[in-house]
Amino acid sequence: MKLPERIKISLTGVWSNKFRSFLTLLGIIIGVSSVIIMVSLGSGTQKVVGGQFEELFSRQVYLTSNWNLPYNQMGELSLDDVDYLKESMIGVVDVIPFFRTWKEVTYEGREYTTSVAGVVEKALEVTNLKLEYGRMISEEDVKNHERVAVVGQRILEQLTGSTDYGSFPGLEIRIENQKFLVVGVLGIAASTVSLSNETVLVPMTTFRDIWRMEGEHPEFFLITYDARTGERDIIKQAEYLLNNKYGTVRGESRFMMSGIESEMNLINNIINIMTMVLGSIAAISLLVGGIGVMNIMLVTVKERTREIGIRKAIGASSQDIQSQFLLEAIILAGGGGLIGILVGVGISSLISLILAMSFEWWQGGTPFWVIFLSFAVTTAIGIIFGFYPAYKASKLDPIEALGYE
């Protein structure tokens, strides 16, 4: 007997109890669709988070004053520390200083108060900021104390009332009455340091010329290091060097440092734990669904005892009967899986669509592996939970089965 014939017989069996079959499937449908929704949204989140960390220099340490200390005891970085750290530390690639202040930015009478950072040309690549139009501040700009600025698109939007970002380079803006030429536009990007598309970048040298007070001490350093060196090692070295130079306050460093490697691990851990918790809930619902399949198959076998007897009398072997009921269980469970996949993909696409409308950075999508896996798992559930009822059916004595009312 060929497989298509067997499938047809089993399909008839499932179909003749449409409503009951559907109810049985409901457990599996809910289980599978929740797995798919969960994985789709989970992997979407992970993709966004992971993707942004990947883009950025993940091997970097943020170094700033220890804000936990009283104002007069906090350490203050100086530009000398750049070379001091760079020369004394093992494994360091670069030390990049950032100056910062809050200023009023004006353009044609409109004003916007925002953070202004004094940076060197290397700031862009290590901060994960994204240059949408124009160019970044160059080495020349820094050297020649140029009055140029790379401005976040959000600021320009507010100042000009236009969203024609491409036209922004070339505009002349004022930062606290100092004229600056816009050379570049920063787009949307999540940066680890608090710089964003609402920040104005100007050459470090220019910054220090104009704002002498804020220009005295860099607000923070980003220390990048090579692949052979660990985050903890870098933090230890930097702490040691700075403690040596500036001393400590009752054993506490005047500076604080944090790396994103450990933050990234933390986020990944949280996502993994969430996935595991949700995954086990899904597994339980699939188990319950499987038990439902077994239950309904046992009822079916009982109800159709006579059919089994008839089929045996007209030439079905025990194996034929077993495969018929096993296939029914697989069709039930696998069918539930398919419907669950459709429902799950549908709902997660809908949620993704809504998220994408609210958050431009959202990237959803159901990974293919989860669809395959769901189908494979539900089919396996059919086999596992259908085996016993099918075995029971196959072992029925045809004479007794024929006499069964």
Partner 1 sequence: MIKAENITKIYGKGEIAVRALHEVSFSVEEGEFVAIMGPSGSGKSTLMNILGCLDTATSGRYILNGTDVSNMSDKELARIRNRKIGFIFQTFNLLPRLTALKNVEQPMIYRGVRKKEREEIAKRVLTEVGLDDRLHHRPNELSGGQRQRVAIARALVNEPDIILADEPTGNLDSKSEEDILNILRELNERGITLVVVTHDYSVAKYAHRIVHFRDGEIVKEERLLQDDGGGSLEVD
Residue whose tokens read 């530009």: 79
Which residue, 30 or 401, has its beta carbon nearer to partner 1? Answer: 401
How far apart are CB 402 and partner 1 at their closest, in Å?
Answer: 6
**Cβ closer to partner 1: 224 or 300?**
300
- Least distance between partner 1 and beta carbon 309 (Å): 7
In the complex with partner 1, which residue's Cβ is closer, 1 or 181? 1
Residues 1-60 interacting with partner 1 (rule: CB under 8 A): 1-2, 5, 9, 12, 16
Please, what sign has the CA dihedral across residues 203, 205, 209, 214?
positive
Residues from 249 through 308 that contact partner 1 (CB under 8 A): 306-307
Q: Quote the least distance from Cβ 284 to partner 1, whole Å.
A: 35
> Any contact of residue 399 with partner 1 (CB under 8 A)?
yes
d(CA 405, CA 401): 9
Judged by CB, which is closer to partner 1: 190, or 402? 402
Structural contact between residues 271 and 45, judged by C-beta atoms closer than 8 angstroms: yes
For 371, other C-beta atoms within 10 Å of its C-beta total 19
Closer to partner 1 by CB, 257 or 316: give it: 316
Give the residue with the Cβ less far from partner 1, 70 or 315.
Answer: 315
CB-nearer residue toward partner 1: 8 or 232: 8
* In the complex, least distance from residue 324 CB atom to partner 1, rounded to whole angstroms: 11
How many angstroms separate the Cα of 270 from the Cα of each of 42, 258, 263, 278?
A: 11, 19, 11, 12
How many chain residues bind partner 1 (CB under 8 A)?
23
The DSSP bridge partners found for residue 174 are 106, 179
Binding mask 345-384 for partner 1 (x = CB under 8 A): ----------------------------------------
Tell me how far, at minimum, the Cβ of 332 lies from partner 1, in Å: 17
From CA 114, how far away is CA 151, in angstroms rounded? 10
Q: Please, what is the minimum distance in Å from the beta carbon of residue 5 to partner 1?
A: 5
Taking the complex as a whole, the smallest distance from the CB of residue 302 to partner 1 amounts, in Å, to 16
Judged by CB under 8 A, the chain residues 298 through 337 that form the site for partner 1 are: 306-307, 309-320
| CB-nearer residue toward partner 1: 103 or 311 | 311
Q: Which of 50, 91, 279, 398 binds partner 1 (CB under 8 A)?
A: 398
Least distance in angstroms from the C-beta of 287 to partner 1:
31
In the complex, minimum distance from the CB of residue 334 to partner 1, in angstroms, rounded to a whole number: 22
Report in angstroms how near the CB of residue 290 gets to partner 1 at its nearest.
Answer: 26
Smaller CB distance to partner 1: residue 137 or 308?
A: 308
Q: Which is nearer to partner 1, 170 or 315 (CB)?
A: 315
162 CB-contact burial (10 Å; exposed 0-12 / middle 13-18 / buried 19+):
exposed
* Residues within the interface to partner 1 (CB under 8 A): 1-2, 5, 9, 12, 16, 306-307, 309-320, 398-399, 402
